[in-house]
Structure 1
């Protein structure tokens, strides 16, 4: 522990500050609590027993309802089987004609008695030879050629021959070979081998293709044998099979007709699965099944359905919906709890009447003790020096941190005028600080010597009241700021050193720039001398020896002269680039609209035959060097003029837009010319970087690099955007009028 963190020898130990007066527990409160717990436990126990009885009765009703619903669905399937049995008996006795079959089905009145059925049909079991004979019989009977679908040669067929009632949808499925489809074939083979009606798995019925329905379909098949009765052996059944009488129906229609009054079952939801195969297949589900997790009960019922295993999943509604008596139980529970709280409140009133006075006295004593404890702990363990002063400015009490700062013991500080501790003390009793603190907080910096070492401290005076009969008027805080002031002095010294270094580096940079400029001019002079020699001798060679040179020689000579001319232009462009970086800026308010109009006028006079639409927004103002800004506009507008050369209707725009929170003005030059690839936008502002060939568009590749240097020298930014064949857009910023 540091010296500032240690409490003085006279300070009370922390245990004294943390000790509080224990509160004696009162028997009245314990009695009130016992009454509350006993009454609440009795109410909850009674409510729990009643709730379990209600839920048991509701669960029994739910089980009974689900058994009844499952029985109704199975009974509906038995009705379908009975209707199918009549058709099978008719085919077993005599093979009816299509008209007889239609009359038989009409006599069953399927629309009224079996609303879920789509019809009743017959499919013969034939070989390829039998199929041809069937087609001949159909043709001879005047029904036309019987076509089989899907086409192809197979070992056996089971085509739909009859299907009544003869609706438009049922007519469209005549001739379909059900034996060619795996799900239907499985049910047909099961009916043949067992000699009993068999149900298919879920399929899409052929009639749904015409009606546009997406309901789950099923088919119930009953085999028909030649001898009438079902043969006993499997081989005999396979040998004597004539075909199948079958019923197609939709599973939702089956459930709706079997359970017409769903409201009787108290909101029970149903879902039916076919569990025959390795993977359960959904046959039917209520629209709201599984959308809510508040079901009170759930149950699954397994059943056999003509060779298939069905699982019926049932879910009840919420507990409140299936058992209306629960609402009364909730009311009973609420009344019981309120009664328990009322008894508890009465018991608490009795206990509070007994202990109210004692609690008030204890609370006041505890608040005072804690307030005193917080103040004492802040004084003793604060890292900042603190002292309590009387009305005459003498030290009444000081903390250990103040003793360390002034280098005195606590006993020697008591009664000492506080101002006498500092070197610049005048009147130890009446000081400026003591006069100013009467009106509020006052801060000042003083110096003192501690162990022959000069220290600086910051004083903060504040009025503080004392206890009754205690002469305490002010609290002063003393913070040693010697290290901070020393650090600030070092920072100021470092700043002065840094300014000297910056000035020295500036002079060195200016000298280097001057040397670089001299070097650039020297290099340009040294490069131009051999270029002039090459150009002069090549011109003389062309004039004097033109007749002796063939076509290739004259072409080479022309290329040499063009190269020297371009080299001279590039040297001049380099010199201009160097001048842009070193020239002195002379910022003035500028009318960019007028400057742009002058540049466009020069471009029109240079090419009077070109018709270019130029739109310049009026009132474009900025601050900049007139010569440099004119150079900037000449490059940007000149580029737009050049690259719109091949356009049918060339157009150039110069306007202003704003961006950002401060509405920073952005100047825009836009054209509809050749444009450029966006991937190469980084090369635009580099010297001698060109995105078009010299033959297509002439130039030195230095213009946009100059533009970027001019904008950056003015403290602005520039960016470009474009697409090949759709033009280019250049956006730059310059200081506004208030810059």
Structure 2
């Protein structure tokens, strides 16, 4: 048979080399050049259209912003001229007063206060009058001022000059304005130029930039100041010629003002002009002089537009330099145009990519179809190879449960030729085919994978067990294969499991027997302990009783040595009794059932220390107990444990100068591990080499005279800890104290 021939091959099925597979692959057809050219033309055309559209929109937006800038500069210039006209009108009203009468200083003060110049004309420091006089005329002014009670008019700067133009009136009469009275403006070249121009023209004239005299006293800083002069002629004169004007001139009315406040008052809402910065220069002299400068934009920011506008104003030539905000500020929509450009370029790239995809679609479709066909063929071949070379028996079944194809491994399990299994109902191959449950196997496969164990009898009569795994095989409607079944020979495994179960039953029987024997031994040991205790106590009581009677009745007949012998006998019997009690106590620790409950170790330690203090109130021992120490254990046994450890610490710190006892917990070493509890003292300590004797019964490291005891306490502690499943160890040094560290398991499951 084929199955026997395969079994004769010394190599496992997986080691049989598979047949060589042909190399699959297809070269990708080259995309025609025409498709690439079309995609390139689409890219060039779309990019060019986007750039032309963006450039036209950008220029249009920039021109509109520039037009708004020019309109804003013209409006700013008009507002400044209008504000200067208002100053000139106020000056003209004051000139009309001197054209009719010469007012007194009080009348002038009332007139100026009525105009409310400081409120209506921000930056204006007042309104004044300066007469045009010769030295004789100035002396007459001084005499008139003294006779009127105003004091002597002092000339500033002093000196003899052909003509004077001293400030005679200046209202409102603030401290700064009072300090200007007597100042000869005609002596200053800049002021004199404007005063002479007003005299000869008969019109108001503006001076060049000067430092106003008020700033010396008012602390106004380095602000540029200007003065506007209007000529005053003799009453009734209307001179036409320059010579007649010079002859008829009486003086000037004038207004001093600061140019920064003048500009800010003229332009109260700068934001409406799109953030235009202004620099104002006086270019009437030899060199331009800065009158005003805005500082609203960063110096490093590049303006979108700049403009210069010359203006003739009351005899002076001003140049207005305008500077706009950066392009992104003056025209916010330009940022949107950049976004539009980016989107347009992106769309152009997308169009180019689509054209490339369209050019390659047909070739790519053919390539994918060929690849899918090849993948399907290779997948089919892999499946066939997996069937042939698998070490697990496999069979393909149709909808009726008949074998369509079987692999050699299944033939080996059945001891039949795989080809002979074709068309055979699969269930008929097993010895238990008549089992009613087998009728639902095939129906269960529709719900998913189904596993079961069946019994079969091979051709040679050998009985075997097989592990079956049914699985549906997806496919097209009407195909002949519906299910896949895997068959594994489970005979050896089932026999091994049966042997393990038999061994387990045998082991359980032995455990029960050993437990019974151990219980009987413990009962015998307990009976022996009680018997020994009872048998030993009887002669001890006799020895102790007769010793006491001998001491009471014949004490006078005994010498000192005899009485000492009796005392030693009685002490020895008492110690022997205590040792018997300790022995019984040790025996009880190994009996009984543990009753584990949550315990507050901190409170148990406090109670133990309280009992020790009550027993020896005269001792002063410092005790540090960490609060909140919790554990699970048998309450009486754990109380006994702490009593022995804390009692030892109390006892062995007796000779210390500052005795200290500590009870605390060290953190757990790992996750899930219980904490380590520590009882530490600074007492007598012990040699490290003798640490192994500490937990042995009746082993002592100190003499009875030094520290009393039976040598059973630490042995009891170790037994209690081990009964709880924990561990204990000791650390110490002579004269440096000792530390006992123990663990108790966590919460019982």
What is the TM-score normalised by the length of structure 2? 0.48
Computing the radius of gyration from Cα coordinates, the structure with the larger value is 2
